[in-house]
C-alpha cells in the first residue's frame, strides 16, 4: 500500500492505495502549527480507524503548495512510517513537459492533476481545480503544460464579500432556484453561483481559442467542482480524486529510484 498526501492551503487530503485501487481517503484542515508528532499520530489514527496497519505502508508521496508545513510532515513520515517521502518537485519524473516561463512556479498539485488527467482522458485538456484558488491549466495534445489562469476561490471571495459589506449576511453556498434573487440571501447566492459559472465558462472558451486544438476536454476537480459543474456548459467531467491519482502514477514512474 502507498499513502498519498495532497497538501493544500485550506485542507490536506490523505489517500491509501492498494495497487491502483483507492481504498480510503480523508480530508482534514491544513494546520501550519502542527508538530511532527501531531501529524504522525493523526495519520496513524486515520489508518487505525479503517483497521489498516501503518507498518504496511510501502511508500509515501506528497504534493504540497504549503512550504511551511513540510518540515513537520516529512519528519512525521520518517519517524512514524520509517520512510523517506517522495515529494513532487524538481528531479521527479512526471512525463509532463512544462512550458511555463519558470517551471518551478507550477504547483505540485497542478502537476499531479495534469499527470492523472492525461493518463485518464488524454490531451488536449483544460483542468479546472476549485480549491482555495480556482485554477485553470491548459494541457496540449502532446502532453505539454502550456500555462493557465489563477482566480480567487469561491469560498474566499464570498468571505471577502461578507467581511467587507457590513450589512450583507453570510449565506449558505447553494445553487439558487433562478438567477433573479427576490431577497438579499437569494441575491447573494445567485451572484456567487452564477457569477462563478459564468467565469468558468468564459475563461474556458477563451483558453480553447488560444490553444487552437480540437476536441479539448474540460475536467473539473476540487471541493467545489460538482457545485459549479451542475450548471456549467463547458465542463465535461468531474473527477474528485484527480490529484491523488496523479500522485499514485508519479510514484509508479519513480518508484525504482525512491528511497525505501
What are the tens digits of pLDDT across the range 5-25?
999 998 999 999 999 999 999
pLDDT reported for residue 31? 93
Residue 258, domain member (yes or no) = no
- 12 — phi, psi (to 5°)? -115, 130
217 bridge partner residues: 125
Whether 118 and 137 map to the same domain: the answer is yes
Residue 250, domain member (yes or no) = no
- Are 123 and 139 in contact by the 8 Å Cβ rule? The answer is yes
Whether 109 and 80 map to the same domain: the answer is no
Whether 66 and 124 map to the same domain: the answer is no
Q: Residue 131's domain spans which residues?
A: 97-243
pLDDT > 90? residue 26 = yes
109 has catalytic annotation: yes
Whether 181 and 129 map to the same domain: the answer is yes
- Are 217 and 235 in contact by the 8 Å Cβ rule? The answer is no
Find the CATH number of the domain harbouring 178: 3.30.420.40
User: Which DSSP helix (H) or strand (E) runs through 3?
Assistant: strand 2-7
Q: Select which of 109, 129, 215, 237 is catalytic.
A: 109
Tens-digit pLDDT profile for residues 149-179: 999 999 888 888 888 887 788 888 888 888 9
- 179 — phi, psi (to 5°)? -70, -40
Whether 14 and 74 map to the same domain: the answer is yes
Residue 187, domain member (yes or no) = yes
* Residue 249 Cα distances to 4, 95, 179, 186, angstroms: 11, 10, 41, 43
pLDDT reported for residue 258? 54
Whether 80 and 123 map to the same domain: the answer is no
Q: Report the C-alpha gap between 84 and 247 in whole angstroms.
A: 15
CB atoms near residue 20 (< 10 Å): 9
Amino acid at each position: 500500500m502507498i499513502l498519498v498526501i495532497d497538501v493544500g492551503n485550506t485542507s490536506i487530503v490523505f489517500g491509501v492505495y492498494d495497487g491502483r485501487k483507492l481504498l480510503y481517503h480523508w480530508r482534514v484542515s491544513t494546520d501550519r502549527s502542527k508538530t511532527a508528532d501531531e501529524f504522525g499520530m493523526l495519520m496513524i489514527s486515520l489508518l487505525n480507524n479503517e483497521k489498516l496497519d501503518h507498518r504496511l505502508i510501502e511508500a509515501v508521496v506528497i504534493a504540497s503548495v504549503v512550504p511551511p508545513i513540510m518540515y513537520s510532515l516529512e519528519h512525521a513520515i520518517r519517524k512514524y512510517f520509517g520512510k523517506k517521502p517522495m515529494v513532487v518537485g524538481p528531479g521527479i519524473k512526471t512525463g509532463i513537459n512544462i512550458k511555463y516561463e519558470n517551471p518551478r512556479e507550477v504547483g505540485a498539485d497542478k502537476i499531479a492533476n495534469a499527470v492523472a488527467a492525461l493518463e485518464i482522458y488524454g490531451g488536449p485538456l483544460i483542468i479546472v481545480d476549485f480549491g482555495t484558488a480556482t485554477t485553470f491549466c491548459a494541457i496540449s495534445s502532446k502532453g505539454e503544460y502550456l500555462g493557465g489562469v489563477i482566480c480567487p476561490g469561491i469560498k474566499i471571495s464570498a468571505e471577502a464579500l461578507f467581511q467587507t459589506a457590513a450589512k450583507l449576511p453570510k449565506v449558505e453556498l447553494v445553487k439558487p432556484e433562478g438567477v433573479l434573487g427576490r431577497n438579499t440571501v437569494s441575491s447573494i447566492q445567485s451572484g456567487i453561483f452564477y457569477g462563478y459559472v459564468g467565469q468558468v465558462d468564459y475563461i474556458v472558451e477563451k483558453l480553447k481559442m488560444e490553444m487552437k486544438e480540437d476536441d479539448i476536454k474540460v475536467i473539473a476537480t476540487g471541493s467545489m467542482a460538482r457545485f459549479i459543474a451542475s450548471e456549467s456548459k463547458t465542463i465535461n467531467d468531474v473527477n474528485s480524486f484527480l490529484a491523488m491519482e496523479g500522485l499514485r502514477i508519479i510514484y509508479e514512474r519513480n518508484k525504482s529510484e525512491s528511497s525505501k
